[in-house]
Structure 1
Amino acid sequence: MNEALLSLRGVRKTYPDGPGRRAGRKVVLDGIDLDVREHACVVLVGSSGSGKSTLLRVVDLLEDVDDGQVLLDGVDVADPWVDADAVRARLAMVFQQYNLFPHLRVLDNVTLAPRVVHGRSRAAAEESATAMLEKVGLAHKARAYPDQLSGGEQQRAAIARALAGGPELLLLDEVTSALDPELVGEVLDLLTTLRDEGTTMLVATHEMAFARQVADEVVFLHEGRVHERGTPAQVLDDPQRERTREFLRRLR
């Protein structure tokens, strides 16, 4: 069995629970333990406010932890002495909003990080980006600007941009939540293809059908804790905890 590419151990994150120095702290992540093995897809589910997005931001070093370890290939990247930019170069995160640069054509959006972060030549970056756009079905839109794309096309372009740097781990935060329902399927189909190709993914989603189809492990978060975990069949079809059952009943 593959060793874990990513391991979280006792990760705790709090935010001020109001203005002023006397404000308390709101616990958002409360001792999270989690493993993501190479070539696996781990799907995070839970209600809004359960900690899914914060967990992804902690992994991408966009948020500091108050306690615990974030281990990437066994190295604690949450250590303040670690070069955060070097760590982020090994990861890629796709957000709910597409965050494409509106003044750049799609091809230029996809080649920006390989050229600036990874130091590739323009020719090499464009060759790789063209292949990536072909993979996501957008080769014919390479010269278009983001506002000339549909929402689903913009999100697929954002995923192509994330993949262009060859990340070891792809983080996806509710990437279909901003899409019209008829556009959700094309993005989920792309993620299913990436999973079949062995892309290592940590995904926060409300799409239970997607979780059931592609996840190696489903992790249900509640109030910042791992409340239940297991295969999709275990968690989604035969949950053992009442809170998990309540969450799934609401979705249905």
Structure 2
Amino acid sequence: MPGDAPAGPLLSIRNLRKSFGANLVLDDVSLDVGQGDCVVLIGASGSGKSTLLRCVNLLEVVDDGVIELAGTDITDPRVNADEVRSRVGIVFQAFNLFPHLSVLRNVTLSPIKVHGLPRAEAEARSLAILERVGLSDKAAAKPDELSGGQQQRVAIARALVNSPVLMLLDEVTSALDPELVGEVLSLLRELKDEGMTMLIATHEMGFARQVADTVCFLDAGRLLEVGPPAQVLHDPHEARTRQFLSRIIEAGRL
């Protein structure tokens, strides 16, 4: 999957700011993600997690700050955004699959339309990825013939098919029934074990505790606390982190 490790962090975010009108959504955020690391973003809804991921994928234009991928400033306006997105896979809470296309066509669309791969090569690559996520037998199915967990695994396969160096995952289990969450989290654990670099926004605190190398607590657009899961989740320094986690514990989610 990922290639040779860069000299510094694979992803480096420095003093990132993003506003929507008068609403400051990201306030001076700085974060490094090393090659092969799994960094998990936690925080209440509206804390800026999704916007941060969208900025890294260049789906949002940053107001200030720098994002570097493997040492290259991807916030430079001269950068080809499509080329960056071909190296950075993103998976959303909503599956965003095309309902009229088969699973295989959903996964092959980007390699064929964006990267110009011949159909036979794109299909061979896509079938290998579908095998990897346990869905090769569903290649001819339409999305509405699949469970939510299967649809989310197709969305992950679609992001993996271009061999990204970085995966961004935005609350990928939030739309799933509780019994389907495990199959998606199991796949993410496998990707982590294989060395995929991931930046994940999630409310799944058990997953964060078990799999993350680093947990980051965002609050009102500021990165308040960053550290190993044991420290951030069980011995946080910041009062606001403790307040947030106490509510998670009360809800039985930690």
| TM-score of the aligned structures, taking structure 1 as reference length | 0.95
Tell me, in whole angstroms, the C-alpha distance in 1 between the residues paired with 2:112 and 2:86: 12
* Post-superposition offset of 1:126: 1.2
Residue in structure 2 matching 1:3, options 4, 8, 20: 8
Matched, 1:111 2:112: no
Aligned counterparts of 1:117 and 1:170: Cα–Cα separation in 2: 18
1:3 is displaced (CA, Å) by 2.0
Shift of 1:129: 1.1
Deviations 1:134-179 (A, max 9, x none): 1111111110000100111000000001000101110000000001
2:20 to 2, 12, 15: 15
Give the secondary structure class of the aligned counterpart of 1:119: coil
1:157-236 maps to which residues of 2 (within 5 A)? 157-236=154-233
Alignment of 1:12-91 (within 5 A): 12-16=17-21, 25-91=22-88
Amino acid at match of 1:77: I
1:150 aligns with 2:154: no
Count of aligned positions? 244
Q: Which residue of 2 aligns with 1:20?
A: none
Distance in 1 (CA, whole Å) between partners of 2:136 and 2:71 is: 38
Q: CA deviation at 1:210?
A: 0.6
| Superposition deviation, residue 105 in structure 1 | 0.3
**8 Å Cα contact 2:8-2:71 kept in structure 1:** no
Counterpart-to-counterpart distance in 2, 1:103 and 1:59: 30
Q: 1:225 is aligned with what amino acid?
A: R
Task: For 1:82 and 1:69, locate their aligned partners in 2 and report how far apart those are by CA, in whole Å.
Answer: 13
Give the letter for the 1:143 counterpart. Answer: A
Instruction: Give the % identical residues.
Output: 63
Aligned partner of 2:243 in structure 1 is 246
Q: Secondary structure at the match of 1:172?
A: strand
Q: Displaced runs of 4+ in structure 1, greater than 6 A?
A: none
CA shift digits 1:65-95 (9 cap, x unpaired) = 1110011122211121211111111111000
- How many angstroms apart in 2 are the aligned matches of 1:101 and 1:82? 28
> Which consecutive unaligned segments of at least 5 residues does structure 1 have?
17-24
Where in structure 2 are there 5+ consecutive unaligned residues? 250-254
Partner secondary structure for residue 42 of structure 1: strand
Q: How far off its partner does 1:120 sit?
A: 1.6
SS of 2:10's equivalent in the other structure is: strand
Q: Secondary structure at the match of 2:97?
A: coil
Cα RMSD, aligned residues only: 1.1
